[in-house]
Amino acid sequence: MHLRLLPILLIACCCSCSQDTERRDDYAIQGIDVSRYQSVVDWDKIAAQEVHFAFIKATEGATHTDSLFERNWKQIRAAGIRRGAYHFFRPRTPAVDQANHFVAAVRLENGDLPPVLDIEVLDGINPRTLVPALKTWLVLIRRHYGVRPILYTNLHFYNKHLAGQFADYPLWIARYGDELPVLACGRSWQFWQYGSRGTLEGIDGYVDFNVFAGDWDLFNQLSYGHFPALSAN
């Protein structure tokens, strides 16, 4: 999502990452995620290709805001795509400061997906201190918006550092290739990022492909506030 050249992900999916990602047709609800690395996106063209949701990078650490966040945030909604914003967590930066930064940048409206906490790196900290810091961010964001945030990470990082934690929060797992992510603690995931080399008209270059593991009723239940029921029609 953020650091595409992480050695862990390259080792885990070197074969699948070297080929273009084909969109799966076995999930009804399809999505993508973007940041400034995708440059300017034509969201009307994206909406015409049966993309139902899009997560976009909003913030990182306590000071950085993605340069294209505001543009993407407005245009995704105008195009009729369900939108969500994510924060890239920096473990060396106080979680309270990071939560405040996200809140200052992101205003949710009815129908938006919950905020996402993206954790992929330790930044050299003791792993034992990571979970309490993540819980602080999640609790503060949940208290502010009144909705459970989503936790994003890759399969290896989750199984090594996070398994057995965060049972109350939806999971978005990155595992590239055809094999489903299997979590060490046995719980289920809600979103799956299955490839990073997808192509769509309206995006110059590659984009991550994602799916939601559920039907439209479950998808709508995740939304912030009230939103009319969506369907594939």
Where in the sequence numbering do the catalytic residues fall? Answer: 33, 120
User: Which of 62, 56, 106, 98 lies closest to 210 in space, CA to CA?
Assistant: 56
Task: Specify whether the CB–CB gap between 31 and 211 falls below 8 A.
Answer: yes
Q: CA separation (Å) from 62 to 7, 67, 73, 213?
A: 25, 15, 20, 32
Sign of CA dihedral 64, 97, 6, 159: negative
Strand partners, 164: none
Please, are residues 36 and 195 in contact by the beta-carbon 8 Å criterion?
A: no
